[in-house]
Amino acid sequence: MLKFIFKLVSKFFHKRHIYLVKSLVYDDKKTQEYEGRADYIRIKTLELCARQIKAKDVKGSVAEVGVYKGQFAALINENFPDKSLYLFDTFEGFSKKDIDTEKKKNFSTGEQDFSDTSVEMVLSKMPFKEKCIVKKGFFPETAAGMNETFCFVSIDTDLYEPIYASLVYFYDRLEHGGYIFIDDFTNFYYKGAQEAVNKFCNERGITPIPMADVCGGAIISK
């Protein structure tokens, strides 16, 4: 009876592109803390990468470019409580210059509004806000004068130009054993993301690893 009910429920969700799967069966960490957070795969992959970074004692800070309301930034902060977390964002949504590039190259409309956020909103979600360093403004100008290396970086800017600029900036500053997450790599609605990642990786002779999270991200390691 239970198997029959499970099949019916699975079929219902499958039609809506929602899939019921087991968590990591042989992982020793409980996963109740992820209840209510939609992107289990991305969250759990972050946790596993953080575990590797700690096990290898990889040096460097952590960062996110494209913070929006801070949901994923809070998880980075949670997983790296002893590391400085740099938060790069305009906190005002997309820039007109980047939107113009998107439309010119037919990557996306650039019409999604991400301006409903603020520095105060983001910091209120951080479990270790004393480790957060806010860099408000247009990237990479906001990184000028920094002398940091990084062990983990999340790039979630959606658009071609800022993704490519972020990869150029952070890859050379990424410690060996570190990871870069890029959101929207296989997202049909933001085609420029894959273009930017592929261009950068072809230039450097490296290969991105696709990730089966909600927005179809990718990972680059060093």
The per-residue pLDDT for range 95-139, each reduced to its tens digit, is 888 899 999 999 999 888 899 999 999 999 999 999 999 999 999
Percentage of the residues of the chain whose pLDDT score is greater than 70: 86
Query: What is the mean pLDDT of the segment spanning 199-213?
Result: 97
Q: Which residue has the higher pLDDT, 11 or 111?
A: 111
Q: Which residue has the higher pLDDT, 65 or 22?
A: 65
What is the average pLDDT value for the chain, to the nearest integer? 90
pLDDT score, position 6: 54
Strand partners, 86: 63, 133
Residue 18 falls inside a structural domain: no
What is the pTM assigned to this prediction?
Answer: 0.89
Instruction: Please tell me the distance from the alpha carbon of residue 127 to that of residue 129, in angstroms, as a whole number.
Output: 6
pLDDT score, position 8: 72
Q: What is the dihedral of CA 197, 203, 205, 206, to 10 degrees?
A: -20
pLDDT at 15 over 90: no
Give the chain's domain count: 1
Kindly indicate the confidence band of residue 178, based on its pLDDT and cuts at 50, 70 and 90: very high
Residue 15 falls inside a structural domain: no
Residue 118 falls inside a structural domain: yes
Strand partners, 218: 182, 210
Residue 13 falls inside a structural domain: no
Query: What is the mean pLDDT of the segment spanning 39-54?
Result: 94
The CA distances from residue 201 to 31, 173, 220, 221, in Å, are 34, 15, 9, 11
**CATH assignment of the domain containing 183:** 3.40.50.150
pLDDT at 31 over 90: no
Q: Edge-to-edge, what's the strand order for the sheet holding 85-89?
A: 132-136, 85-89, 61-65, 150-155, 174-182, 218-221, 209-210
Residue 98 falls inside a structural domain: yes
pLDDT score, position 189: 93
pLDDT score, position 11: 75
Kindly indicate the confidence band of residue 77, based on its pLDDT and cuts at 50, 70 and 90: very high
Instruction: Please tell me the distance from the alpha carbon of residue 85 to that of residue 128, in angstroms, as a whole number.
Output: 9
Strand partners, 89: 136
Residue 57 falls inside a structural domain: yes
pLDDT score, position 32: 47
Residue 32 falls inside a structural domain: no
pLDDT in tens, 140-168: 999 999 999 999 999 999 999 999 999 99
Question: Which range marks the domain in which residue 178 is found?
Answer: 38-221
Residue 203 falls inside a structural domain: yes
Phi-psi group of 59: left, alpha or beta (phi > 0 → left; psi -120 to 50 → alpha; rest → beta): beta
